[in-house]
């Protein structure tokens, strides 16, 4: 799903943000001395994944400036740095998968849900070597996946619809890219991985399940620093509107939108288009429906399911009221 950059990029990003933090953290609007008011600065971070990239459209088209904000969008690949960057005030908004945000929030990161950005609907999957034709056939087999990532949650949802359990397979813990590579090399029998290596694995083996079949398991959301929001209470509406307008623009101008997103992600436009094929971008109508607590499988219900899973795995300790606090604008 999200292709990882080299370690040098991670280190460079962290150093850059550390320097920014030393300079006083986030900057808010103020008079320039000539009677003009500067735009309030907001730093938004996410990793290299097309699902987040419509925000580059908002930046390019000046949506943030219309609301008096200047957005600095940064690519950071390492999830482990996000919580500290939020806490230090070095970033004010983040695009990330919902379940990992919940783990981060439970650990004390001052963040809150803004809106849903996208769902993986085919960009991730469980793929097996040739000759393994069903999930039940994985009994006694080696399955590579990242046990610290959403891949684990996705895999367990797939297993819940089978006749086998986690105890029936041997999980080999490794990153999503590495999982696909291990399968191609014949070192494991199956893998949970993402595009583009997912298609390569499927061409040589069998795609047992994809996120298209489980469209509420890998969901990306936009969150904001609650410290920043306390000083800028309009930011929830600003970010939501900028996101929704960007998705509308992408839907209406797909080729140009992909060019803008590719430039921001430092990818080729064709790579971005290929990733988009496995992504459903949430527009205003979809966000409104997903946030409607009267509907089944709304974002809060999905979040509770994810939180229960990671609590069972010992990665977080949060009750329902704690999860409600993550959604301050939903009136829970």
- Give 12 or 324, the one with higher predicted confidence: 324
Res 32 pLDDT > 70: no
Same domain, 234 and 293: yes
Same domain, 25 and 108: yes
pLDDT for position 34: 47
DSSP-derived pairing of the beta strands 124-129 and 190-194 = antiparallel
Q: Is residue 87 part of a domain?
A: yes
Same domain, 12 and 103: yes
Q: Is residue 155 part of a domain?
A: yes
Asked if 38 and 99 count as a contact pair (C-beta separation under 8 A), the reply is no
Same domain, 79 and 40: yes
Model confidence at 196, pLDDT cuts 50, 70, 90, reads confident
Model confidence at 14, pLDDT cuts 50, 70, 90, reads very low
Query: Which of 176, 210, 244 marks a domain boundary?
Result: 210
Same domain, 308 and 195: no
Which structural domain range is residue 270 located in?
7-119+218-325
pLDDT for position 114: 98
State what percent of residues in the chain have pLDDT above 70: 89
Cα–Cα–Cα angle for 219, 231, 325, nearest 5°?
Answer: 40
Q: Is residue 1 part of a domain?
A: no
Total of domains in the chain: 2
Question: b/e for 90-119, b at 16 or more Cβ within 10 A?
Answer: bbbbbbbbbbbbbbbbbeebbbbbbbbbbb
**Number of C-alpha atoms within 13 angstroms, CB side, residue 299?**
29
Query: Which of 161, 184, 210 marks a domain boundary?
Result: 210
CATH of the domain at 171: 3.40.190.10
How far apart CA 260 and CA 255 sit, in angstroms, is: 9
Residue range 90-141, pLDDT digits in tens: 999 999 999 999 999 999 899 999 999 999 999 999 999 999 999 999 999 9
pLDDT for position 2: 44
Question: b/e for 63-78, b at 16 or more Cβ within 10 A?
Answer: bbeeeebebbbebbbe
Q: Is residue 330 part of a domain?
A: no
Q: Is residue 315 part of a domain?
A: yes
């Amino acid at each position: 799903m999200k292709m990882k950059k080299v370690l040098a990029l991670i280190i460079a990003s962290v150093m850059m943000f550390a320097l920014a933090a030393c300079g006083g953290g986030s900057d808010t609007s103020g008079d320039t001395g000539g009677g003009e008011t500067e735009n309030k600065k907001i730093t938004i971070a996410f990793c290299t994944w097309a699902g987040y990239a419509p925000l580059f459209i908002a930046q390019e088209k000046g949506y943030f400036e219309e609301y008096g904000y200047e957005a600095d969008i940064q690519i950071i690949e390492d999830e482990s740095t996000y919580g500290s960057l939020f806490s230090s005030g070095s970033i004010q908004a983040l695009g990330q998968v919902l379940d990992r945000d919940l783990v981060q929030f439970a650990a004390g990161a001052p963040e809150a849900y803004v809106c849903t950005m996208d769902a993986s609907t085919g960009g991730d999957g469980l793929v097996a070597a040739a000759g393994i034709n069903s999930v039940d056939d994985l009994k006694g087999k080696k399955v590579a996946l990242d046990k610290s990532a959403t891949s684990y949650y996705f895999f367990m949802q797939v297993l819940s619809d089978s006749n086998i359990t986690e105890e029936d397979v041997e999980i080999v813990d490794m990153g999503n890219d590495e999982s696909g590579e291990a399968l191609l090399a014949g070192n494991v029998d199956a893998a949970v991985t993402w595009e583009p290596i997912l298609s390569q694995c499927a061409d040589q083996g069998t795609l047992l399940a994809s996120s298209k079949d489980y469209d509420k398991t890998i969901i990306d959301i936009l969150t904001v620093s609650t410290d920043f929001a306390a000083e800028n209470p309009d930011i929830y509406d600003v970010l939501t509107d900028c996101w929704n307008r960007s998705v509308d623009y992408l839907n209406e101008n797909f080729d140009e939108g992909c060019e803008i997103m590719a430039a921001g992600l430092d990818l080729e436009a064709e790579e971005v288009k290929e990733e988009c094929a496995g992504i459903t971008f949430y527009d205003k109508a979809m966000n409104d429906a997903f946030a409607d607590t009267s509907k089944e499988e709304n974002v809060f219900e999905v979040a509770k399911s994810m939180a229960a899973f990671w609590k069972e795995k010992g990665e977080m300790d949060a009750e329902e009221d704690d999860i409600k606090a993550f959604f301050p604008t939903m009136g829970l």
